[in-house]
A and B are shown apart, each in its own frame.
Chain A
Amino acid sequence: MSACSLRSRSIASGIVSSNIRAAAIVFAVLALAGGTLCPLVELLRKAGELPKNAAGAANSRLDAARWIDVAIPGGLRALAADGLWLKLYVAWAARDLPRSEMLIHLVTMADDRPLDFWINGARMIAYDISEWRLSSLDGGRIPAEVRRRIVEEQACAGLRHLEAAFASHPDNAAIWVEMGNIQLYRRGDLGLAAGCYRHAAEAPDAPYFAARVYGELLRRLGRDQDAYDWLRRVHARLPVDDPAAMSSLVLRRIRDLERRLKVAVQEQYMPAEDRPRK
């Protein structure tokens, strides 16, 4: 081997070993810094009200949604989701089932913040798509069992879609109400529907009607005493001057239940405004 080739080999190996040394130093310094900065990262997550680090999170999203977060940075998600929603409307108007289903999920993956995307998507899955599937079969001559199974399948798919919404909107009353509607009108399960409405009524942003509907469902389930106790508690908290609260309607239902339950006059419910002042 010539002296020239030996020299060039030693230079090349020197460059390689110097590069490897530099890379090792870079990695070591950054790893040390990363480890040291971990408490600061957790403090920043708390101060910025950001989601908890995945290492401590209960609902870490190991799915495609994170990749979409990278592909569509920051606020461009809103714009992309709006575009996808328009495409969904086109597919929905054309009764294009696979495309509609795909776009319903894609919209919420692109932007999971607007509640309307979740709720309207679930309605499409539970109501519209089941009707499309039924009409694609043989018109009105479908056996009742097949009809029931298709409606059940789509209702469950709609419910799963709404359950996924809780990851970004924890304990939201509107989602519970929609789940209750699907349980009631598509599955006809009064017990589960009542459970959903109860959750909705107890959520922080609960609409007044959720508590009324829960009371009515208890009555329809034959649990008159439970309905009576519930409505008494609800009415005591309702504002009299807000028409949306429909305080007088709740009171009428309480009176109906008192008649059915044959509640003694002295034990009947007395609204706060009618109570004698001390």
Chain B
Amino acid sequence: MSAIVSSAFRLAAIAGNTFRESVRQRLFLILALMAAMLGIAAWWFRNCGIVAPQTKFLLDTGFGALTFFGAVVAIVAVAESFSGEIERRTVLAVLAKPVWRGEFVLGKLAGILGLLLAFCAVGTGFLVGWLWWSQTQPTDPLARGFAGAGGASSFAVMACGLVQWLRCSVLAALTLLVATYARTSLLAVMAGFAALAICSLRALVWDAFRFAGPEWARGVAGLVGLVVPDFELYDVADQVAAGGALSTGYLVGITLYSAIYVSLFVALAVYCFRHREL
């Protein structure tokens, strides 16, 4: 029992340290600043949405920033924090202490997930705050003529923020798996972005599986389609921005799906890291 408690303490120490290190990184601050600037720009230009009403325009832009910068933070933070430690050899100092490799991997991921949670929570908080403010303002009778104008609920926006965090978490875990294999942090970053593209294009891979001519091409497409998680399942921002809601069944299902993939990626990352020559 005491072994589990002390292991949890070590894990929490690594996670806390990873979180602090990542927050202090210049790149994270720049990305957070860019996301905030995009949000402020969307606020200023909310009347310039050509065909979309103000609410939809701002939610569209906000979720877009959350998805894009969240993915960049997930990939870069994992590569920098994990592969960077291996490159700088600081990992040897950590592993020289009574710390298991599995604890190191789990602690790193927990710290990054905390960072992503903070990033998504701040972004979603901004969107919910804006939505609340806009609902207290007198409505423009012309704006009511547009479909979906002002129809988004705060709960749906928060649920969508949670879904975006889940997507970033799966991506971070996948990048961690790649990083346990990659020899440099640059390779981990490149592989992370490639993985993001493949996961986002999984439907295209299935199309190739259906329509590709040669059998071997169909086999490869089928295998790739099976191996990678489907990021299209997280594409619900359009629906929420248009005033739709996310069902409880979907939220439970997507949480379960993400938890399964994160657990799998972490288990495989621990396995790969335990067999890696440092």
Contacts and interface: CB of A to CB of B under 8 A. Distances in A.
Interface residues of B, number: 65
Given A15-B277, A34-B227, A75 B257 contact: no
B247 interface: yes
Interface string A33-53: 111010011011101111101
Interface string B48-59: 111110001101
A74 B253 contact: no
A75 B59 contact: yes
Interface string B239-254: 1011010110110011
Contact of A74 (B49, B64, B197): B64
Given A33-B260, A50-B233, A50-B235, A79 B64 contact: yes
Interface in A18-38: 18-19, 22-23, 25-27, 29-31, 33-35, 37
Contacts of B64: 72-79
A77 B223 CA distance: 30
Nearest to A115: B51
A79 B60 contact: yes
Interface stretch (B77-85, B89-97, B204-212): B204-212
B227 A31 contact: yes
Contact of A54 (B52, B67, B210, B241): B210
A177 B56 CA distance: 26
Contact of B257 (A19, A30, A41, A67): A41
A76 B257 contact: no
Contacts of A76: 60-61, 64-65, 67-68
A40 B257 contact: yes
B206 A116 contact: no
B235 A47 contact: no
B200 A82 contact: no
Contact of A62 (B181, B196, B207, B235): B207
B226 interface: yes
B21 interface: no
B186 interface: no
Contacts of B271: 22, 25-26
Interface in A63-97: 66-67, 69-70, 72-79, 82, 85-86
Interface string B185-213: 00000000000110011011011011100
B226 A31 contact: yes
A60 B207 contact: yes
A74 B63 contact: yes
B144 interface: no
A49 B237 contact: no
Contacts of A74: 60, 63-64, 66-68, 235, 237-238
A264 interface: no
Nearest to A21: B275
A9 interface: no
B211 A62 contact: yes
Contact of B249 (A22, A33, A47): A47
Contacts of A37: 257, 260
A117 interface: yes
A170 interface: no
A75 B232 CA distance: 14
A22 B204 contact: no
B225 interface: yes
A70 B201 contact: yes
Contacts of A66: 201, 203-204
Nearest to A117: B51
A48 B239 CA distance: 9
B260 A73 contact: no
A15 B271 CA distance: 15
B195 to A, nearest CB: 12
Nearest to B206: A54
Contacts of A114: 50-52
A26 B268 contact: yes
Which 10 pairs, one residue from A and one from B, show the smallest C-beta to C-beta distance?
A: A75-B60, A76-B64, A34-B226, A75-B64, A47-B250, A78-B60, A114-B51, A74-B67, A74-B64, A47-B249
Given A19-B181, A40-B253, A62-B211, 6 more contacts: A34-B226, A48-B247, A54-B207, A70-B200, A76-B64, A79-B64
